Amino acid sequence: MPSKDQNNQEGPDVRSSLIKVNIDGDTMFVDSNLYRPQVEHAKKLLRQKRLPKNPKPGEWTDEKYSLHKIADYKPFNFVDGEGVRCSLYVSGCLFDCPGCYNLAAQNFNYGVPFTQELEDQIMKDLAQPYVQGLTLLGGEPFLNTSVCLRVIDRIRKEFGHSKDIWSWSGYTWDELQKETPDKLEMLSKIDILVDGRFLESKKDLTLQFRGSSNQRIIDVPKSLASGKVVIWDKLVR
């Protein structure tokens, strides 16, 4: 070994386990064995700096991506909107938000196929008088419009507007206005939209029904009638 490369310092020679980490142009060397917390911290910083994806209008569609699969169905819950609700989690989302609450459901092939039996079960559950409505979430409901519209249309046929329909979406309200006809049709048939990607930099666990402060709970019929976003009038925080 050339003399300039020899380690003359006291203590163990840790150079073989040094790893190089680059964060936003700054480079640091850390011992992966002795300084694992720093490595984890560096990874966390990297995750926070990455942002969700931004599709061009019409770039992503149900037709291109949906496999008509369901990640989960949870009847009679209290957490996905106002009142007692039945929640349908569709599979597949392309926004890829760092810190996504449901990573597995980003995969369009995750879960089980949507079936007539499940549709009938949802209607049976919704018929309970104490159930206020259905919530669509995922995954991305607006990239699964074929499944969601089928359920929405059946709810309107059987229950009219006596049951409300909430949907979460990574799309913002403004983005949806420039989107494909199936997405606009779905938007026109729901009552509440919780819009926008999850942003880790704006994460706030004290917010009602949403994870980051950029997301809004939007009253859809009032917004469509007035041509501008109208926030849900029961919003507390």
Binding residues for ligand SF4 (CB under 6 A): 52, 93, 95-97, 100-102, 106, 138-140, 170, 197-198
**In angstroms, what is the minimal distance from the CB of 156 to ligand SF4?**
25
**In angstroms, what is the minimal distance from the CB of 122 to ligand SF4?**
20
C-alpha dist (Å) from residue 30 to 10, 43, 124: 18, 13, 58
Tell me the C-alpha distance between 59 and 63, whole Å.
Answer: 11
- The token duo for 86 is 């039945």
* Cβ-based nearer residue to ligand SF4, 78 or 101: 101
Contact indicator for 67, 92 with CB cutoff of 8 Å: yes
* Cβ-based nearer residue to ligand SF4, 32 or 54: 54
**In angstroms, what is the minimal distance from the CB of 165 to ligand SF4?**
18
* Cβ-based nearer residue to ligand SF4, 102 or 146: 102
* Cβ-based nearer residue to ligand SF4, 41 or 53: 53
